[in-house]
Amino acid sequence: MADWNPAQYLKFEDARTRPARDLLAQVPDLPDCAPDLAPDLVPEAAPALVVDLGCGPGNSTELLAARFPEAEILGLDTSPDMIAAARARLPGARFALADAATLTLPRPAALIYANAVLQWVPDHARLLPRLMSLLAPGGVLAVQMPDTLEEPAHVAMRETALTGPWGDTLRDAAGARTPLPAPGAYYDLLIPHAARVDIWHTIYNHPLDGVGAIVDWMKGAGLRPFIDPLEGDARAQFLEEYQARLPAAYPARADGKVLLAFPRLFIVATAR
C-alpha cells in the first residue's frame, strides 16, 4: 500500500481519538521501579518506558505523554509520513520507524499501547504473547482494534472489489486486515502470560454528514487496501460504486446525518 495520509486520517480526529482515550482510561498505574537488570544496563533511576505502537500522527501519543509525564515515551509506526506528523505534533517525544511484527525494545516496557494497529498485523497467536514478553513485571499491554469486517461499510468494500475492471488488481485487498477471533480466544491466548486480562467490546455510533462522509472516514484507513492500488478514473469509479452501496445500510436520521456503527475490541493485560 501507499504511505498513510495523516491529514485524511485526522479529518475525524476527535472520533478517532475517543477509543484511544477509552482504552487509556482502563490502563492501571504503571510499575514505579526500573526493570530488574544490571545497573550498568538500566540505571535505577531510569524512567518507565511507555511505547505507543502504531502511533500514527501522534494523537494517541499525546494522551500517553499527558497521563505519564515522568515516563520515557516512544512512538513507533511503519509510516514515515505518520512519524513526521507525530514529531511535528510532539517535538518532546521520541519517534521511530518500527514494525509491530518484529518489534524489539531497548529495555522491558512498563506499557505497550497499541491503538487501532494490530488489526493490520497477522498471526496474533504469535504476536500477542511476544508483545507480553517485552513487558517488565507488572507492565501492561493495552490493545484496541476495530472489529468491523462484517459491518455494511466493510462488506460493501469487498462487494465493490468483486465488480468492475479492478477484480484482478484487488484480488488480495480483503486480506490486508486480520479477522479478529472471539474474546475468549484472546483471553486463552494471554492468560498464561498475565496476572489479569480485561476484554470488552464497545460499539460507537458516529453521526456523520451523509454517506459521502462515511467514504471520507474509510479513506483514512479501511479503504486503503482497495483504493491505493488504483489510479485516476479507476479509483474514482471504485469510490463512486462503493458509495452507491451505502445508503440502504445507512439511512438518514432525523437531522439528516447518518450513524456509522463502529465496533471495537479492547484488551488490557497485566504481565506477571
Q: Residue 232's beta-bridge partner residues? A: none
* pLDDT tens, residue by residue, 42-68: 545 689 999 999 999 999 999 999 999
The reply to whether 249 falls in a domain is yes
Q: Which of 113, 36, 29 is nearest to 70 (CA)?
A: 29
Number of compact structural domains in the chain: 1
Cell 456503527: give the residue. 261
Instruction: Tell me if 110 is assigned to some domain.
Output: yes
Task: Please write the tens of the pLDDT for every residue from 139-194.
Answer: 999 999 999 999 999 999 999 999 989 999 999 999 999 899 999 999 999 999 99
Residue 1 lies in a domain: no
In sequence order, what are the residues at sequence separation of 6 or more whose Cβ sits closer than 8 angstroms to the Cβ of residue 234? Answer: 165, 166
Q: Pick the closest to residue 73 from 121, 210, 58 (CA basis).
A: 58
The mean predicted confidence, pLDDT, of the chain is: 93
- Which amino acid is located at 114 in the chain? A
Cα separation, 230 vs 72, whole angstroms: 41
| 160 contacts 237 by C-beta, under 8 angstroms | no
Q: Read off the CATH number of the domain in which 212 is found.
A: 3.40.50.150
- Structural domain that includes position 124: 6-271
How far apart CA 217 and CA 240 sit, in angstroms, is 15
Residue type (1 letter), 252: A
Enter the C-alpha cell of residue 114: 497499541
